[in-house]
Homo-oligomer: A and B are copies of this chain.
Amino acid sequence: MNKKNILYAQSGGVTSVINASAYGLISKALKDPQIDKIYVGINGITGVLEGKLFDLTKESFDKINNLKTTPASAFGTCRHRLKEGDEEGFQKLFKTFEDYNISYFFYNGGNDSMDTAHKIDEYSKKIGYDLKVIGIPKTIDNDLYGTDHSPGYGSAAKYLAISMLEASIDTRSMAKDSTKIFIMETMGRHAGWLTAATSLAKLNRDFGPHIILLPERIFEEDHFIDKVQKEVSKNGYCTIAVSEGIRYKSGAFVSDMGYTDSFGNRQLGDVGRVVANIILTRLGLKVHVSIPDYLQRSAGHIVSKTDQTEAIMVGEKALEYALNGISGFMVAINRLSNNPYKIEFGKVPLFEVANNTKYLPEEYISDDGYGLNQHFIDYAKPLIEGESYPPYENGIPKYVSFPIE
């Protein structure tokens, strides 16, 4: 039998379980008699362009196994995007594919990464290079089209719900004569999935959040201040989740950092502080602000067991599809039922993922626009169920790493 080599790479922003997908793919590939070498691109497609691959076949079982519980990107990632017509880039890339005799390419990422994977698939067909390209979904933003949800979201959602719960009982403790307002700023600039997840903090008992500012709703200052006052009167305190992407009626972001990232996206930040200052100025109440930032996407110390399990399975499924000759698709998760929670795996064309965004459905948002309703809870609750903890050494998690650069 003619054994084949595979190449796997990670791309875009990281998650707590992207390495769990790597684990799923790699551990299955190691056992597959059709597979010879398992290569990894250092820093995503960038390493492939530079011919920097890493041979995982030689690594110890312990190191591979530890990928399951290691957050962020163990092999490095990138924000580089292959552009249409970048002939030199594609030639470099396929030179590496040829040099390492790659038959299967797996790209683990979000929209932008699926766009790149799609272009690679197209180019391989154009030049007649026999390559199977499969996308593995990953994003805390949960905005990937064609899949019920994306691995990474459940764990970020769990982290944010827990953090909001803990900060809410903290604020409740202090409200008598100190802090009455707590604000937590979440990631997710275009879709409110992450901000919405803080509503899961209320599943056992309602300590907050009392207000959720979604990017799907215009930020109206007067209306918001009324709502804050009402909540403080009612509860003695008020905790608030705010998306980094909320905008004024004019379309301007409430907090615009004034520069763009390498993909041309406007950089946002500290909207939590802006909202805090509005409350401080108008109501004179003491406000605390938390900005978890990267902590929400790399919190390997508290991972959703459901999310981790599915992340492993999409990695396994990707290999299965590729070995069955499928190319140009991303593995998708289809939900069969909420309660009991049941899913099955499917596939969606890469170009569809690349060219669409999955927004938070309007019917999940509460009537007043400041919260989520039961439809959202039914959807999101199963995704945060179960706890997975990493191994510890010296009081801190033991995470695996591979040489980058």
Contact = CB atoms under 8 A, between A and B. Distances in A.
A336 interface: no
A162 B397 contact: yes
A399 B44 CA distance: 41
Given A78-B178, A200-B395, A396-B162, A172 B72 contact: yes
Contact of A298 (B166, B203, B396): B166
Interface stretch (A92-100, A215-223, A285-293, A356-364): A285-293
Interface string A144-167: 000000000000001001110111
A227 interface: no
A197 to B, nearest CB: 10
A163 B295 contact: yes
Contacts of A401: 169, 172, 205, 207
Nearest to A172: B404
Contact of A262 (B162, B177, B381, B389): B177
A176 interface: yes
A80 interface: yes
B399 A173 contact: no
Interface residues of A, number: 79
A299 B290 CA distance: 13
Contact of A166 (B72, B74, B78, B404): B72
A173 B395 contact: no
**Copies of chain A in the complex:** 2
A401 B202 CA distance: 13
A170 interface: yes
Give the top 5 A-B pairs by smallest Cβ distance, nearest first: A73-B173, A384-B395, A290-B293, A203-B394, A43-B176
Given A77-B173, A78-B178, A290-B293, 17 more contacts: A71-B166, A72-B173, A73-B170, A74-B173, A80-B177, A161-B395, A163-B295, A167-B298, A177-B262, A269-B273, A270-B289, A288-B293, A288-B294, A290-B292, A381-B394, A385-B394, A387-B392
20 contacts: A14-B174, A43-B177, A44-B176, A46-B176, A71-B170, A77-B173, A161-B396, A162-B396, A166-B299, A166-B300, A167-B293, A167-B295, A176-B404, A205-B401, A270-B270, A288-B293, A288-B294, A304-B395, A385-B394, A386-B395
